[in-house]
Amino acid sequence: MSLVGYSFGEILESLRIYKEMTLSELAEGICSEEDLIQFEKEDKYPTIDQLYKIALKLHVELNHFFDIGSTDTYNYAIAITELIKKYKRERDYRAINEIIMKEQDNPLFKHTSFKQFLTWHEGICVYYLNNDKERSVALLFEALDMTNPERKELSEREIEIITSVAIIEKDDGNLEGSVKVFHEALNNLAKLPQVLDSKIWLKILYGLGQALSKLEKYEESLIYCSKGIDNCIHEENMYLFGELYYQAGMNYLKLGKLVEGKEYLEKAMLIFNLQQNDKFASLVFEKMEELLK
C-alpha cells in the first residue's frame, strides 16, 4: 500500500508536534529515528504495520492519515485487510480481534467483500482466543454464504475460508473431518483457471500433511509434503518451506528411515535459520539432538 500522493509527512510531523513528542519518543519501538525523519520529509513511507503503531502512539485513528490526506477511503479498507493478514501470519489473534471490534461498525466494512473478510477472521479469532469451535465454524460458513450460499464453484477467497475450517478442525482434533475439508478445498482450487496467490496451495498441502501424519498415514502425508516442497521451489516461494521439510522429515523418522529423516530435518533447520525463525530452528535442533543420542 502506498501513501504517495498527499502530504503524509506534513500530517505526521504536525501531529507529533501537537502531541509534544520528540522524534525519538515517537520512533521508539516502531522504527529508527532516522526512518521517522524520512517519513516526515516523505523521502520514504512507513509500512502499514508501522503506520498503525504510529497512530496508536499518537492516539489517533488510522484513518486520520487517510481522511486528512483526502485519499480514497477504499485504500483505508485495503490497508486494514493487509494489516489483519500480517497479524494472521504472526498468529497475533488478539491484535486481529481488536481491529475487527473497532472496524465492524464502520460503514465502509458493510460492503460485502470487506464484511466477509472481517467475519472470516472473526471466526478464526473466536476459535484461537475463546476455543469455541462451534461458533468459529458457524462464522466461517456465514462468511462463505455471503458470496456463495450454494457452496459450489468456489472462488479463491471462498477456498481460503473453507481451508480455515479445515485447519480449525485439524487443530481441534477432528482429523478425519479436516482431511475431508482439505480435499474439498484442494479439488476446488484445482478447478480454477488461475490461482493468484500460490500460498493457498501450500496452506492446504501442509495442512493435509499434518493431519495425515497425526492419523499415522505417513506415506500419504509424504506425498502432500513433497508436492508442497516442489511448489515452493517452482514458485520460488519460501512460505511454509521449512515447515514442509520438517513435516516430511518427521514422517521419514516415523517410517524408520533415519537417513532421509535427518536429511530433511537438516534442510528445515537451514531454512528456519535463514528466515531467522529461532523458535522453529530450536525445535528442529532438539529433534536432531534426539537422533544423535
Which of these three, 50, 71, 92, is where a domain ends?
A: 71
Within-domain flag for 145: no
Within-domain flag for 46: yes
Per-residue DSSP letter, 110? G
pLDDT tens, residue by residue, 238-289: 999 999 999 999 999 999 999 999 999 999 999 999 998 888 888 888 877 8
Q: Residue 195 in 3-state DSSP?
A: coil
How high is the mean pLDDT of the chain? 89
Are 276 and 264 a contacting pair, CB within 8 Å?
A: no
DSSP 111-146: SHHHHHHHHHHHHHHHHHHH--HHHHHHHHHHHHHT
Within-domain flag for 37: yes
Span 92-118, average pLDDT? 89
Which of these three, 41, 71, 101, is where a domain ends?
A: 71
Within-domain flag for 184: no
C-alpha distances in angstroms, 253 versus 77, 267, 270?
46, 15, 18
User: pLDDT at residue 177 above 60?
Assistant: yes
Helix residue ranges, H only, the chain: 8-18, 23-27, 33-41, 48-58, 63-68, 73-89, 93-103, 112-130, 133-145, 156-171, 175-191, 199-214, 218-235, 241-254, 258-274, 278-292
> How many CB atoms are located within 10 Å of the residue 9 CB?
18
User: Comparing C-alpha atoms, which of 285, 292, 258, 250 is closest to residue 269?
Assistant: 285
Within-domain flag for 175: no
Within-domain flag for 49: yes
Cell 482431511 sits at which residue?
179
Within-domain flag for 167: no
Pull the grid cell for residue 147.
458470496
pLDDT at 15: 83
Cell 544423535 sits at which residue?
292
User: pLDDT at residue 141 above 70?
Assistant: yes
- Domain of residue 290 covers 256-293
Pull the grid cell for residue 70.
483526502
> Domain holding 39: CATH number?
1.10.260.40
- The pLDDT > 90 percentage for the chain reads 61
Q: Distance (Å, rounded) from C-alpha 213 to C-alpha 220? A: 8
Per-residue DSSP letter, 153? S
Report how many domains make up the chain.
2
User: pLDDT at residue 37 above 60?
Assistant: yes
Which of these three, 20, 49, 71, is where a domain ends?
A: 71
Within-domain flag for 15: yes
> How many CB atoms are located within 10 Å of the residue 59 CB?
9
Per-residue DSSP letter, 108? G
